Amino acid sequence: MNETTLLRDAGPEAPPLSPAARSAARAALLEEIGASRTVRGRLRAFLPGRRLPLRLGAAVVAVAAAWTAVVVAPGDAAPGRPAPSATAPAAPAAPGGIDLVAAEAVTFPVSLDPVPEGLTPLYSRRGGIAQYGSTPPFHVADYEPTSLVSGAPDAAGAGATDPGRVLLGLFPEDPRSSEEYGFWAEGDPTGTATVDGIEAGVWREEGVVSLLWERPDGQWVWLAGEGARARTESLVAVAESIVDRPQPVGLQFGLAPAGWSVGGYEESRSLDLVSDTDPALLLRLSAVGPQYDGTIDELLDGLPMAAPVETVTVQGRPGRLALLEGDAGTSPFWTMLGQLPDGRYLRLLAPQELTREQVLQIGEQVTAAS
């Protein structure tokens, strides 16, 4: 079942259209139609800002009331408790417990040199273990407009040229072999091109051009250019700028459980480590988007707590540590919130197999590129 079908069958349901709401909407339309027959009405139709009085307020109240029972107010934190220090050396693991060791940098295997102007890469790694699909591991770098990635207004202004988008996929086999690889071009190539002396298939569609070729080392590369990048000649130039120079992904652990490996990462926003012996044990680090304007406590809104929220210090700034109820049949797990020097929030999820002190120690040494 694909995602579209899933959304139809299991996506959020629409509330029913009540006869009253239907009648009100129809009456408003008829009023507008009637008014259009008058000069005043025709003018009114062009006036900006004319809107129906919204019942949004009532809807928000209704939703809020429904959630009152599960929202954890900031007051639930334990203000009288001393903030635990996370600067102590790594605590020895309890007998049979998990040791923490220095983590190696997590990298994306290739780079574009130079990075296309105006674009910033977002790195993903998928596949490899059951939770991340049935394919072998594969990597995707999505080069998106820098203004979109950073959340900052485009310095060149709204009238600046759209820099387009480049998608770089690196696969252990022909990506047409599994839908999970996401290769979207259909049918046979519409042409060919030469990349570093190797013939590549070319698919030209309106607005997008794709190249696909097999490297001498047996890996397959899919390069797609969108918008301003959707020209075969310039895309071939981008293809020939691929170098085997690993790039560190944006999120990094400084400390990690011994015997755990990278499970995957998604668009440079989350990084998962999983236990080599029990892939169900997961440690996830994520950074909250730069445009998030809520508070640290709002990041805990609605989450089912297994214990009161603690106020802690993470990297010298106020943080939160909470034990959350697990899903049905699973154990509670830790969530730790902290704040990065650039103001963004980070979140760490950890299983209870790690101690409270270990979670804080890991949180103390995570980093996130701006």
Partner 1 sequence: MIALSLHRSADPPSDAVHLRALPSALPTDAEVLAASQDDPERFAMLFDRHAAAVHRYLGRRVGELADDLLSETFLVAFRRRADYRPEHLDVRPWLIGIATNLVHGHARTERRRYRLLARAAGRPEEHGPDPADSGDRLDAQALRGPLAAALAGLKAHDRDVLLLVAWGDLSYEEVAAVLGVPVGTVRSRLHRARRRTRAVLDAPTLSDLLSDPASEETR
Question: Which 280-309 positions form the footprint of partner 1 (CB under 8 A)?
Answer: 280, 282, 284, 286-289, 291-294, 299, 302-304
d(CA 327, CA 325): 7
Contact between 81 and partner 1 (CB under 8 A)? Answer: no
Q: Which of residues 98-117 bind partner 1 (CB under 8 A)?
A: none
- Contact between 12 and partner 1 by CB under 8 A: the answer reads yes
In sign, the C-alpha dihedral spanning 45, 47, 48, 54 is: negative
For residues 338-357, which are near partner 1 according to CB under 8 A? 345, 347, 349
Rounded CA-CA distance 82/96 in Å is 29
Please tell me the distance from the alpha carbon of residue 368 to that of residue 338, in angstroms, as a whole number: 12
Closest approach of partner 1 to the CB of residue 113, in Å:
24
Tell me whether the omega of the peptide bond preceding residue 15 falls within 30 degrees of 0, making it cis.
no
Which of 22, 81, 231, 245 forms a contact with partner 1 (CB under 8 A)?
A: 22
Q: Which is nearer to partner 1, 33 or 198 (CB)?
A: 33
Nearer to partner 1, 49 or 79 (CB): 49
**Do the Cβ atoms of 335 and 347 come closer than 8 Å?**
yes
Nearer to partner 1, 68 or 217 (CB): 68
> From CA 138, how far away is CA 168, in angstroms rounded?
11
Q: Which residue in 97, 109, 189, 326 binds partner 1 (CB under 8 A)?
A: 326
Q: Which is nearer to partner 1, 14 or 39 (CB)?
A: 14
Specify the residue, 270 or 367, whose C-beta has the smaller distance to partner 1.
270
Strands (E) across 288-332 are located at 310-314, 317-324
DSSP-derived 3-state class of residue 223: strand
Q: 3-class DSSP state for residue 128?
A: coil
Residues 135-154 that bind partner 1 (CB under 8 A): 140, 142, 148, 151
Q: By CB neighbour count within 10 A (0-12 exposed, 13-18 middle, 19+ buried), where does 75 fall?
A: exposed
Told to check if 4 binds partner 1 by CB under 8 A, we report yes
Show contacts with partner 1 in window 183-242 (CB under 8 A).
Answer: 184, 205-208, 224, 226-227, 230
| Span from 6-14, 88-96, 242-250, 352-360 in contact with partner 1 (CB under 8 A) | 6-14
Beta carbon of residue 212, minimum distance to partner 1 (angstroms, whole number): 14
β pairing state of 333-339 and 345-351: antiparallel
Of 135, 252, 275, 335, the residue at the interface with partner 1 (CB under 8 A) is: 335
In the bound state with partner 1, the residue whose beta carbon lies nearer, of 200 and 337, is 337
State the Cα–Cα distance between residues 170 and 148, nearest whole angstrom: 23
Q: Which is nearer to partner 1, 33 or 88 (CB)?
A: 33
CA distance linking residue 26 with residue 21, whole number of Å:
8
